[in-house]
Structure formats: C-alpha cells, structure tokens
Amino acid sequence: MTQTAHPDTVLIVDFGSQVTQLIARRVRESGVYCEIVPFQSAEEGFQRLKPKAVILSGSPASTLDIGSPRAAQVIFDSGLPVFGICYGQQTMCAQLGGKVESGHHREFGRAFLEVEKDCPLFEGLWSVGSRHQVWMSHGDRVTAIPEGFEVVATSANAPFAFIADEKRKYYAVQFHPEVVHTPDGAKLISNFVHKIAGIKGDWSMSAYRAKAVEAIRKQVGDKKVICALSGGVDSSVAALLIHEAVGDQLTCILVDHGLMRKDEAKNVVAMFEEHYNLHLLHVDASDRFIGELEGQSDPETKRKIIGRLFIEVFEEEAKKLGGADFLAQGTLYPDVIESVSFTGGPSVTIKSHHNVGGLPERMNMQLVEPLRELFKDEVRVLGRELGLPDSFIGRHPFPGPGLAIRCPGGISREKLEILREADAIYLDEIRKAGLYDAIWQAFAVLLPVQTVGVMGDGRTYEFVCALRAVTSVDGMTADFYHYDMEFLGRAATRIINEVRGINRVVYDVTSKPPGTIEWE
C-alpha cells in the first residue's frame, strides 16, 4: 500500500476477522503507524514495511481445517514481538507446538478474566488477583500451549485466555481487546506497541502530511493530475494535499451527476472559488447519469454504472485539457478494506464504485490516492492541518453514488427530486436543533413503497420516507442516534407538509456492527 516504509510500523496480519480494522484503530490511537495485510501476502508485506512488531488478527476459520490460514514463518523467525488475538492465538499455538481443539464450550460475548500472573502488558492496568471484563468470540480453543509460554490469565471457559512467552516477547489472547466491549483492550494494545515493541508513539498527522507531499511529488514529477472532487471531506483534503505538492499541475473536476444533495454542486464550487486557488472545472453530466440509471433497481448495478460513467467523464475532460497522466481521488483505508476481499469474504462487493484496484488500461493513467492509509477521523485531522474550516471538516460523509443508493428500487427523476427535498428539510431540522455535530451521518431514504393515506379531505397514495442518523468515529461501526420524539415529529411533519409525493415518515433504528455494509 505504501511506497516506502514508515520507520516505526506495526504489521497487522488479517486472517479474515470482521474487526481487524479496529485493531488498526487502536494502534493508531496510541500514536503508532500500522498497516493491515492479508495473510496470503504477509511475507511480502513484512519485507516491504519492515515492521517493529506484528499483530495476528482473529478469523472465522478453524486451525483444524485443511488449508486454514497460517502466519508467515518469517514473522516467527524475525525475533520481533508478536501479539496473537483469538484465531491469532490459535494459529500461534498450532504453529509453535501447542494444540487447538474443537468441541469444547464455545464463548460468544461477555466474559470475565482472572489475572493469575503479572505481565508487562498489564502495567498501569491490571494486577494479580483482579477480575476484568473481556469480549469472547470463539468455537475452538487452545488446549495445550507451546514450550516457553505460561498462563497469565484465565476465564471460566478458556483456561489459556491470556498466555505469554516473555523471552521471545510473544503474547496471545483468546478474547478481542480491540472491541469496546473489552474496556481495557485499547490499553493492552498500547502497552504492547509501546512497552514491548519499544515504539515511541510519535506518528502524527503533521508528519503524515510532510511524507504524503513528498510521496506525491515523487510519484507525479512534472506531469499533469486531474482530481475527482466531489466536495466531500475526503476528496477535498486529497485535492488540497496534492495542490500543496504539485501546484498548478493539478486540475480538479467536479462532476455533477444529478445525484447530489440540494444545491450541493453550487455550494462546493462557490467555496473553492472563494477560498482556494485551485483550478476547478464544474461538469454538469446529470442528464447522462440519470439517463442510464432510470429504471435501474439493483444497487450493485447502479454503483457500477456510476463508476463507469465517472471514468468516462474524467477521460473526456482530460482530453480537453490536452491529456493527463494521473487521476487523483479521495480513497480512504476503509474503502480499500471494503473493496478488496482479503480472504474471500463479502467485502469484495461493498465499495464497487471505487476504482481502488486500478483504472481501465485504455486511460493510460495512474491513480494518486494520498489518503488511502487513513481512516475518516484521521482525514479530518489532516484537513485541519491543511487549513480547512471546522464547519467543512465536520460535514457528514455522503457516498459517491449519492442519492442513487438512497433511492432503493427503480431510479427516476421524479423520485430523486422528492428525495432531495426531503433530505434537505431533514438536515435543516438537524442544524436548527443543534444536533449536526453530535451526529456522524444523517440522510433521508425514499423507500420503494407507497401507502394510502388521508391528507385533509382527500386520499393520497405516496411514498414512505425513512430517516437515518448514526453516531460513529471512523464509519467501521455505528449506532443509531437517539432522537427524542419531539424532534422526529417536527421533522416528519415538515417533510409530509412540504414535499409532495411523501405521506409517511419512519425512523431507522438499526445499528452497524463491524463488518456490515451501509444502509441501502
């Protein structure tokens, strides 16, 4: 992923766990840079990144299955500290001479750990004899530990819940320290990277900015770059970072695909023209996009149409500019994770509208993606480093396919306009109530359902609008925002009264646990 290694990096080997990304969050929160690599290419990632420590993730697999994932032997031959989590513990034990069995009592959910021996990972945290909540998720379990290991903590159903080989600096746990349901988990991970691996924790966004600018200059040289600017935080931060690196070699292109929020294109163009000295082209391609999307109901088909048309428009605009050698976009680390299946899981189709795997060969262009190592909250910190105002940095994320996936079922111009108006009213009410900054993402959805209603003296047969609002930090997990009924009543009343085509409003209270896709 990176072109050059960071001096102090933690390598996370992914065996397919739905919460592997949360391990990376905890490491980065401790001020240490890390990257996730799939187990199939762990040896290549190890050689490329030259890490100071390695963490092995969980997995839905069983070490007892033929062909199940294994850690690259180079990791154990390196002499580096290794921390195995859940399946990571099991494969460590299986590969180093221990034993894993199935058929024992499974553990899924809250459990309590009994600390039996002191350990450097417990410094400032746990003491012998104390009891602590952890989160378990396993069917198999370790039944014999390798030579050199000893038990430092147990749970009722996991006699080897926490084991350590202090001489080799190997640590392994059956539970998941990365999830919030293990309250002290983040500190355990922090102790591993700081006290065991000896990494200082001085990775900062200012350092990332300087490194990214240097990398962009090295990649681009004196060539031309076009940047896909949507007006969202990700693409805007990418544009400013690239502009800092190569100046007038950059041309930003805002493609209005007719699927943006109300007045979004106009407001984005005005902001950049007033505050930033960027070369920005506004291309109205709404007829083209909506024309191909009309009648399409499958969300994956919609995404692929939108992704293809974006490429075609950028290709055409590049020709008008006399050619370009690079296409820049605001791809983030979750986009990369959710666009590439590391272990054959469902993530292969989550972000299919992103071109993270490369561009069509006919374009003869390379991608510039300076943010693809970052999570959303890290991009916001970088935006502040670059001087973006808080009012802009705090904007709710809005997907590239825009209203197309907020309009399940067949697309039509009429339905898009109905949704656009409802969405604008909803956000207006959120801002008036002073709730915008308390919510990570909010939007309206026009459901493919019509209901009979009575408005005044007449019957109506109109659409149902769903309102969605979630709290999150990085978008990898989310919980619904707990509105009071007074707010919901006020927002619903305005939408029904002011938007012709909607006669009922509902509120979506589903959460987004790790590994699930966004509402669509």
Q: Where in the sequence numbering do the catalytic residues fall?
A: 86, 176, 178
Hey, what amino acid is at 366?
A: Q
CA contacts within 13 A on the Cβ side of 422:
33
Q: Is 192:169 a contact under the CB 8 Å cutoff? A: no
Neighbours of 360 (CB within 10 A): 12
Instruction: Give the pair of three-digit tokens for residue 366.
Output: 């390379």
Neighbours of 511 (CB within 10 A): 13
Distance, in Å, from the CA atom of 358 to the CA atom of 461, rounded to the nearest integer, reads 46
Hey, what amino acid is at 126?
A: W
Q: Is 21:12 a contact under the CB 8 Å cutoff? A: no
DSSP state of 248: G
**Cα angle vertex 155, ends 152, 157, to 5°?**
130
Interacting residues of 296 by C-beta distance below 8 A, sequence separation 6+: 302, 305, 410, 411
Which parts of 340-412 fold into alpha helices (H)? 376-385, 390-393
Angle between helix 485-498 and helix 413-432 axes, rounded to 10 deg: 140
Neighbours of 313 (CB within 10 A): 18
